[in-house]
Amino acid sequence: MILDRLDLKNTLEKLKELRVKLVGVQLPDGLKYWTQEIVKKIEKEGYTVIVSGKPSYGSCDLDTSLIEVVDVLLHFAHPPVLKHENVVYVDYSIEYNVPKLVDIVFKYLPESVSLIATSPYVKKLEDVRYELEKKGIDTYIKKGGRTGIDGLVLGCNFKAVDKNAKSILFIGDGSFHPKGAAIYTQKEVYAISPLEGKVRMFGKKDIEKFLKNRYSLIGKAMDSKKFCVAVSSKPGQKRFKLALNIYRKLKKRYCTTLIYFDEFMPENFSCDCFVNTACPRIAYDDWKKFRKPIITPQEVEILLKERDWNDYIMDEIDEIN
């Protein structure tokens, strides 16, 4: 049951301690279906609840306008990347059988791995390490960027990946994070989803395909005459200094406009090419949805010949400035 994965017990205790009355609730799209059930549980304790109708892509994406009208905002199912005195993060964790998972995956692994996971699975990484080491595999778990949580990778930060290991073991769903870890390290990444119990490998072919796409987008950017540099209004994605810096550099050679946005809608503008300084997944994941090329800050460096094509690096958010 999805609701059992939410830590509502500790959340309600926290609300009691805070002595608040008006509570904001912000849910990711995948949990919005259960809004009424979640709200009922909070209202039962005597609170008045207002639900955010905005999308919630990550905890970098706090509903700041709702925070202004409630006593406290409950932000569900994302790890805390931003500290805010009026925000309580509600943990979402998925239970899984660690020995069974390790039995499925260990035969694929070399003698040392860097162990990483997305947030619903990260709590059990120490147990996974214990089981892997019992089978003779040296296992490294490194502190994640933005959250400080051991082994946690975000779509915008791969600092938790230890490049010294022979390969990477990723626990989670989807292909964005393992592919990102492969590009980040240039090593093979074994991915297992505890829900499916299947192992997938990401390596050389995926890296090459990714780079081919990115080089083709940079090629289109090179033919562009009008650029838009997009800067997000979302608190944990707002890289304003970076956007301003790119805007000033591009402005010397091209017609360039700086755009401040909430929801990214490039089709409404007449630019030939967009530079994305918000969530890096907009450029990496969403580019197919749009007719215009969307490139990253590091790809602008390639465009301006400040960086070599062979020195390609992923866009990451570490600190917001």
| Residues at the site binding ligand SF4, with contacts judged by CB under 6 A | 57-58, 60-61, 81, 154-156, 236-237, 279, 281, 317
| Shortest Å distance, C-beta 272 to ligand SF4 | 25
The residue ranges of DSSP E strands in 151-234, in sequence order, are: 167-171, 189-193, 198-202, 226-232
How many Å apart are CA 67 and CA 74, to the nearest integer?
Answer: 9
Shortest Cβ 121–ligand SF4 spacing (Å): 16
Beta strands in 55-110 (DSSP E): 72-76, 87-90
By the 8 A CB rule, do 216 and 225 touch?
Answer: no
Burial group, residue 226, by CB count within 10 angstroms (0-12, 13-18, 19+)? middle
Q: Which residue is nearest to ligand SF4 (CB)?
A: 58
The candidate with the shortest Cα–Cα distance to 274, out of 235, 217, 215, 314, is: 217
CB 67 within 8 A of CB 25: no
State in angstroms the smallest separation of the CB of 57 from ligand SF4. Answer: 4
Q: From residue 101, give the alpha-carbon distance in Å to each of 151, 242, 251, 297.
A: 17, 42, 52, 38
* The dihedral sign for the CA sequence 114, 99, 111, 210: negative
Q: Could you tell me the smallest distance in angstroms from the CB atom of residue 131 to ligand SF4? A: 29
Instruction: Choose between 154 and 189: whose C-beta lies nearer to ligand SF4.
Output: 154
Taking the least distance from each CB to ligand SF4, the nearer of 129 and 179 is 179
Q: In 3D, which of 165, 166, 192 has the Cα closest to residue 178?
A: 192
Q: How far apart (Å, rounded) are the C-alpha atoms in residues 21 and 145? A: 34
- Rounded to a whole number of angstroms, the minimum distance from the CB of residue 280 to ligand SF4 is 7
Least Å distance, CB 22 to ligand SF4, is 26
Exposed/middle/buried for residue 65 (C-beta within 10 Å: 0-12, 13-18, 19+): exposed
The distance of closest approach from Cβ of residue 88 to ligand SF4 in the complex, given in angstroms and rounded to an integer, is: 18
Q: Of 11 and 157, which has the nearer Cβ to ligand SF4?
A: 157
Q: Which is nearer to ligand SF4, 95 or 285 (CB)?
A: 285
Q: How far is the CB of 56 from ligand SF4 (least distance, A)?
A: 9
Return the number of the residue (129 or 281) whose C-beta is nearest ligand SF4: 281
Nearer to ligand SF4, 124 or 281 (CB): 281
C-beta closer to ligand SF4: residue 60 or 87: 60
What phi and psi values does residue 276 have, to the nearest 5 degrees? -100, 120
Tokens 């007449």 found at: 270
Which is closer to ligand SF4, CB of 167 or CB of 237?
Answer: 237
